[in-house]
Amino acid sequence: PTKMGELSSFVRIVALFTFLAFTLASQDVFDAVLGHTGSCRKSCEMTYSLHTYPREDELYACQRGCRLFAICQFVRDSDDMNQTKTECESSCNEAYSQSDEQFACNLGCQNQIPSTVQRQEQVIVFNAKIFQTTLSFSKVFWK
């Protein structure tokens, strides 16, 4: 085999192991694919505390907004948070007929933005580290 073929195989193996390690580190399949919604869900729990709100409907609608935002952002794969938020709110308005639940769902859309921005920043750093590691291995290989 050629050195280039060996390097290509090596890079693929490193990328595969890195991807598997990253995926296995996630607690939840949803979080691994779409992004962590835990802090958004906790914000919903604080806003719609079951001590204050006797019905759970608003809490669940808010938490659904968190998930809808993550789904919309994943599908769009865009850095435009305003557009993603607009799509999320549209999904909320379609999913709920009562204004209280629509508002709660829209709040979930809003609450998910900081986590999504943070995750995008982490992905950029992660990709840079992968590139540096791959570059270091290729330098060692070519010497």
DSSP string, 64-96: HHHHHHHHHHHHHT-S-HHHHHHHHHHHHHHH-
59: Cα within 13 Å, side-chain hemisphere? 13
- Look up tokens 């305003």; give the residue: 82
- Look up tokens 């809003």; give the residue: 110
Tell me: pLDDT of 4 over 60. Answer: no
Beta carbons of 53 and 100 less than 8 angstroms apart: no
Q: What is the pLDDT of residues 6-25, one digit of tens each?
A: 556 666 666 656 665 555 45
As given in the structure block, the two tokens for residue 95 are 């999913």
Tell me: pLDDT of 57 over 60. Answer: yes
Q: What is the pLDDT of residues 82-120, one digit of tens each?
A: 999 999 999 999 999 999 999 999 999 999 998 887 766
- Look up tokens 């379609």; give the residue: 94
pLDDT for position 26? 46
pLDDT for position 10? 61
Question: 27 falls in which pLDDT band (50, 70, 90)?
Answer: very low
Please tell me the pTM assigned to this model. Answer: 0.65
